[in-house]
């Protein structure tokens, strides 16, 4: 129980590192309002948890708010869908929505004061990128210290049959939207949506830690150095993180190891069983 509490606390402290799944053109907020000002064009999506979104400009993708409100001003343009779960949707006359418009209120639900995080990377900042990499390294090192056995099983699956693991990852990502829709259209499933997405983020990160372990072992072998697995994980995550911030190449590498790591996590049922 003590380890679980420590893990949850660390996830909250370094939650922005999970936003690696978001592109550099997205706005992702937790406990903090998002605002696209009039005249601005956002080429990605707006995702907010536990706060509100105000759109006055142009959003080329979707706007999704969980446990918060969406306000579309008269000059707002959203090319994708607008989804509000556990809040309200206020669409002023003249606001344009290209996709679906969904508003699912859950009554008077109070989720308290969430920690405030801006997880957006809408502009390239070396400091922000370095902080993101170091956050991933630190959290990955702690997760391996807390739950080494599942990480080792995930790493074994990724190393043993990488193509099969990638296939699991591809199928897993393809299933995200249908499963989310199924949860949205059922009253019982709506409260499970935040936990479902949290499970996705945790699974993806567990796979990332496992691949950090494999990369670190490879580097340690090439350097002919004896290192503990914890240090190996930190070194591997650092190298992988630095590679992913390289323009173009980093995106391709991130996509591949996201599929590989997430697939291995699903294959081993989050590291509970060895890959068969």
Write down the pLDDT at residue 105.
Answer: 59
Write down the pLDDT at residue 158.
Answer: 94
Rounded to the nearest 10 degrees, the angle between the axes of helix 126-146 and helix 2-13 is: 170
Q: Which residues of the chain have pLDDT under 70?
A: 1-25, 30, 104-129, 187, 275-276
Write down the pLDDT at residue 113.
Answer: 44
- Per-residue burial over 123-149, b if 16 or more Cβ lie within 10 Å, else e, is eeeeeebeebbebbbbbbbbbbeebbe
Write down the pLDDT at residue 126.
Answer: 59
């Amino acid at each position: 129980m003590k380890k679980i509490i420590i893990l949850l606390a660390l996830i909250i402290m370094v939650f922005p590192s999970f936003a690696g799944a978001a592109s550099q053109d997205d706005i992702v907020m937790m406990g903090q309002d998002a605002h696209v000002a009039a005249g601005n064009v956002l080429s990605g999506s707006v995702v907010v948890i536990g706060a509100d979104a105000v759109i006055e400009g142009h959003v080329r993708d979707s706007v999704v708010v969980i446990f918060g409100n969406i306000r579309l001003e008269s000059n707002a343009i959203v090319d994708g869908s607008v989804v509000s779960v556990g809040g309200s949707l206020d669409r002023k006359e003249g606001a344009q929505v290209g996709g679906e418009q969904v508003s699912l209120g859950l009554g008077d639900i109070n989720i308290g004061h969430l920690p405030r995080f801006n997880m957006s990377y809408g502009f390239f900042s070396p400091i922000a990128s370095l902080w993101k990499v170091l956050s991933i390294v630190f959290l990955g090192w702690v997760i391996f210290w807390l739950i080494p056995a599942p990480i080792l099983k995930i790493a074994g699956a990724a190393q043993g049959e990488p193509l099969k693991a990638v296939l699991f990852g591809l199928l897993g990502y393809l299933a995200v939207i249908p499963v989310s829709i199924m949860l949205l259209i059922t009253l019982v499933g709506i409260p499970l949506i935040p936990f479902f997405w949290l499970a996705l983020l945790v699974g993806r990160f567990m796979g990332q830690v496992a691949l950090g372990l494999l990369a670190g072992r490879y580097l340690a072998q090439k350097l002919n150095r004896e290192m503990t697995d914890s240090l190996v994980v930190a070194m591997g995550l650092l190298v992988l993180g630095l590679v992913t911030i390289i323009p173009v190449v980093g995106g391709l590498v991130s996509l591949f190891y996201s599929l590989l790591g997430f697939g291995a996590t699903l294959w081993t049922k989050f590291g509970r069983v060895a890959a068969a």
